[in-house]
Amino acid sequence: MALGITITVPLRAFSLDLALSVGEEVVALVGPSGAGKTTALRAVAGLAPGTRGRITSGDEVWLDSEAGVDLPPEDREVGFLFQDLALFPHMTVAENVGFAGPRRTAELLERFGIAHLARARPAGLSGGERRRVALARSLARAPRALLLDEPTAGLDVRGAAAIRAVLREHTRAAGVPTLLVTHDFHEAAALADRVGVVVEGRLLQEGRPEELVAAPRDPFVASLAGGNVLPGTARPGPDGLTLVALDAGGEVRCADAGAGRVGVVVRPEEVAVARARVDDSALNQLEGEVGAIVPLGNRVRVSVGPVVAEVTAASADRLGLARGGRAVAAFKATGARLVPLGR
């Protein structure tokens, strides 16, 4: 059973235009605040006035503006996790979960590890516990689609990790189309089978998380996925390479073809760091001041001029990197991609 979405929703500054099909999988919409992501969820649920287009769940039509079909929210059979959770403060945990589907209350309380909280009220729960209650409630009526709006918002690192684990387990077990909204690409990649990047109401790129990381088609997508984006001007170079004069200074070679204004996209893990230039014509080498040095377990993320590199902690120690010092960021022509600048 697939969820088919082809909609236009007028917003204050732009219109949300979205065409997407969601099978029995998790699809995440990721992008900046105000991009239209939550509006997409509300449109699917029947809560966004003015929505035009077509929304289907399997053979059932929820919206067909040309045919005059627009099922009310209560007939669309969706489970909706609102960002503010929308728990009823005067009800117990068991009453909240059972509000939409009392027959499954005991089962869901047990599945989400909140059976011991059945008689508690939302005000007495932690942020993670409240989210578990809201998630359990969203599944209480055996929905035909599951809509999750910023499911880890407001939680600390440990709480967010716990909720992500719950989501991974239960969204798969639900076996229904799941549409998830988040501003965090790494959360989307951890939870979703496919990710769509939305900016100002437009779907810039959609695909499996690893596809967006390896082959971004837009500088915003590349940056959102954690890549360096170095703006510059491209021209043909020798040996089939492209030469890019960087706005920040210096010139690099790329195996990708390109011309005019481009962004050179290189992943931090593709960048090596040295104390000085090395004699290797195959490498692009950019000298710069060392900026932030961020430990990441057994790896270290370090800024060298406009480039962010990710190296092993042992390498960082051996180099003796210090903020304000000088270093060289190096990467191969085959390790960089070009994306056109300007949307």
Contacts 24+ apart (CB under 8 A), 164-172: 164/190, 164/191, 166/112, 166/132, 166/135, 167/135, 167/191, 170/111, 170/112, 170/135, 170/139, 171/26, 171/146, 172/26
- Whether residue 320 is predicted with pLDDT greater than 90 in this model: the reply is yes
So what's the pLDDT on residue 210? 96
The chain-wide mean pLDDT, for the chain, equals 94
Q: Which residue has the higher pLDDT, 268 or 168?
A: 268
The 10s digit of each residue's pLDDT in 238-257 is 989 999 999 999 999 999 99
Burial of 255 (0-12, 13-18, 19+ CB in 10 A): middle
The 10s digit of each residue's pLDDT in 243-294 is 999 999 999 999 999 999 999 999 999 999 999 998 887 789 999 999 999 9
- Whether residue 343 is predicted with pLDDT greater than 70 in this model: the reply is no
So what's the pLDDT on residue 31? 95
- Whether residue 6 is predicted with pLDDT greater than 90 in this model: the reply is yes
pTM: 0.89
- Whether residue 335 is predicted with pLDDT greater than 60 in this model: the reply is yes
* Percentage of the chain lying above the pLDDT 70 cut: 100
Domains contained in the chain, CATH given? 3-77+143-214 (3.40.50.300), 228-340 (2.40.50.100)
So what's the pLDDT on residue 262? 97
Lowest mean pLDDT among 31-40, 133-142, 223-232, 300-309: 133-142
